[in-house]
Structure 1
Amino acid sequence: MPQRAWSNKRERQYEHIKESAEDRGKPEKVAKEIAARTVNKERARAGEARQSSALSRNDISSGRRGGLRSHKGEGGRTRDQLYEEAKRKNIRGRSTMTKAQLERAVS
């Protein structure tokens, strides 16, 4: 799915992300979509894209974000991530909650 607008660096990035996703067991079609979306978001963040959403430009980078917003697959968010969200939402009793309890509390 590499596009003409992509530089050589972005094409290498796309291939690396696609191969990584396939190594984790994702089907090829899904791996291609993940890679293309990630590369396009990084292009938007770097000002390389003609059009981009405000979220793509201002959000934390894809690599740093990891699975912060993941609510399914690969176990979803970690207990620590859920705890930090509960802390931001000022949920009482969060320090003694299990992962399942935190998931219910923050959703």
Structure 2
Amino acid sequence: MPRGDKSAYTDKQKRQAQHIEEGYEQRGVPKKEAQRRAWATENKISGGGKKSGSGRTHHS
């Protein structure tokens, strides 16, 4: 998968990133930078990409 390919994300993750991007743009951040920040934020929130729920536990 090439860098920047968003096909590995769920529809919900894509919607959330779009919403985050709009928020950055309203604060005056340029479009491209807003998009970069939005995906970075979404990755931080969700861990990035599609993840199946079953068997995915966090061990500390």
Above 0.5 in TM-score?
A: yes
- Compute the TM-score of the two structures, normalised by the length of structure 2: 0.67
Higher helix share: 1
Check conservation: 1:14, 1:39, Cα contact below 8 A: yes
Quote the residue 1:7 is aligned against: 10
Among the aligned pairs, what percent are the same residue? 35
| Structure number with bigger Rg | 1
Structure 1 segments of 4+ aligned residues over 3 angstroms from their partners: none
RMSD: 2.5
Which structure 1 segments of 5+ residues have no match? 49-56, 58-107
**Paired residue for 1:44, among 42, 47, 50?**
47
- Compute the TM-score of the two structures, normalised by the length of structure 1: 0.39
**Paired residue for 1:23, among 23, 26, 50?**
26
Query: How many residues are paired up?
Result: 48
Which structure 2 segments of 5+ residues have no match? 52-57
